[in-house]
Amino acid sequence: MKHIFIMLAWLSPVLSLHGQTKSVELEGYDRMRYSKEEITVAPGTSVELTMKTISDIPKSQMAHNWVLLKKDTDVDAFVNLCDQYKDNDYIAPALTSKILAHTGMLGGGEQETITFKAPSEPGRYTYVCTFPGHYMAGMKGTLIVQE
Ligand code: CU
């Protein structure tokens, strides 16, 4: 009996981490796609997401970010306005309230790790790249929040 308690005490930090933190590795490609077009997490999960751009093209011509949007967002309008804010990494300051989490704009070989809390409300949340033309070409995906 004593041995069982020792085992549980040793395992408990591992078990709680497993339930609350999820690591996600994501890549962005020249063909304007993410390596994952669906990411599934439990509500309220702490997500540690690493985004990396794979490219040999200069950053001014090919870069990617990862922008997770609130459910009610008009995605086309969001991306269209972001197009105009090159100096702000293609994030429209007027629309930051629509963003749940995002990385910076990453050129070839660059990567960034961000940590955010997944929404507590189950559902489908769109993520996009706001580099001009990329979303329209298909650089998007869905964060699926479910139990
Ligand atoms: Cu992109």
Render pLDDT for 66-109 as a digit per residue (tens, 0 to 9).
999 999 999 999 999 999 999 999 999 999 999 999 999 999 99
Cβ-Cβ contacts under 8 Å for 62 (sequence gap 6 or more): 30, 53, 55, 107, 108, 131
Give yes or no for a contact between 54 and 107, defined as CB atoms under 8 angstroms apart.
Answer: no
- For residue 8, is pLDDT > 70? no
Centre of ligand 1 from the C-alpha of residue 72, in Å: 22
- For residue 16, is pLDDT > 80? no
Centre of ligand 1 from the C-alpha of residue 113, in Å: 17
Which residues, by Cβ under 5 Å, contact ligand 1, an ion? Answer: 64, 129, 131, 134, 139
Give yes or no for a contact between 118 and 47, defined as CB atoms under 8 angstroms apart.
Answer: yes
| Residue 20 pLDDT class (50, 70, 90 cuts) | confident
Rg (CA), the chain: 18
Cα–Cα dist 114/79, whole Å: 21
| Residue 43 pLDDT class (50, 70, 90 cuts) | very high
Centre of ligand 1 from the C-alpha of residue 10, in Å: 43
CATH topology of domain 19-145: Immunoglobulin-like (2.60.40)
pLDDT at 86: 96
